[in-house]
Structure 1
Amino acid sequence: MAVMLDLRQAVVQKMIGSDQNGLREMIEGSIGAQEAALPGLGVAFELIWKNIDQSKQNELITVLENALKSSSAAPRAK
């Protein structure tokens, strides 16, 4: 678990001080990039999730659900 905490802290430290453009660049640069970028997106999502109310969480879940339904990568039910 210490490794995960260190990774979280490293990602947060890298994001601290970034303005909105910098944060957007970090997110957009990580999407579709090598899998090594995924933990950073996970930490960013965790920060977002912890700092929004339940209605916004529900909205995000709906967006995710709809994206999965429309994704060609999603496994199809038989």
Structure 2
Amino acid sequence: MDLNLRHAIMQNVANNTKEQLEDTIEDAIERREEKYLPGLGVLFEAIWTHASEQQKEEMLDTLEQAVKQQA
């Protein structure tokens, strides 16, 4: 079976509104089930590839702080 997970996930949310995308992300995080991690990864990949260098720096700063708080 040839399944392109990235494509399937992006097709699933292609027509979602901003609010629906937020609900999808919040729901995946609240459920804390590992099966949602690939989907969140694909969504993050989309964010990262479309972000400016300044936005990437801001995300990295936020991520660095979050990782340090989790340690």
Structure 1 outlier segments of 4+, above 3 Å: none
1:42 aligns with 2:41: yes
Query: Which has more helix, going by share of residues?
Result: 2
Give me the CA root mean square deviation.
1.2
Amino acid at match of 1:42: G
Question: In the alignment, which residue of structure 2 is the partner of 1:21?
Answer: 19
Shift, 1:32, TM fit: 3.9
Q: How many angstroms does 1:70 deviate by? A: 1.2
The structure having more radius of gyration, on CA atoms, is: 1
TM (norm. structure 1) is 0.82
Amino acid at match of 1:35: E
Q: Work out the CA distance in 2 between the residues paired with 1:55 and 1:24.
A: 22
Q: Runs of 5+ in structure 1 lacking a partner? A: none
Query: Quick one: higher RCO (CA 8 Å, sep 6+), 1 or 2?
Result: 2
Taking structure 2 as the reference length, the TM-score comes to: 0.90
Identity of aligned residues (%): 36
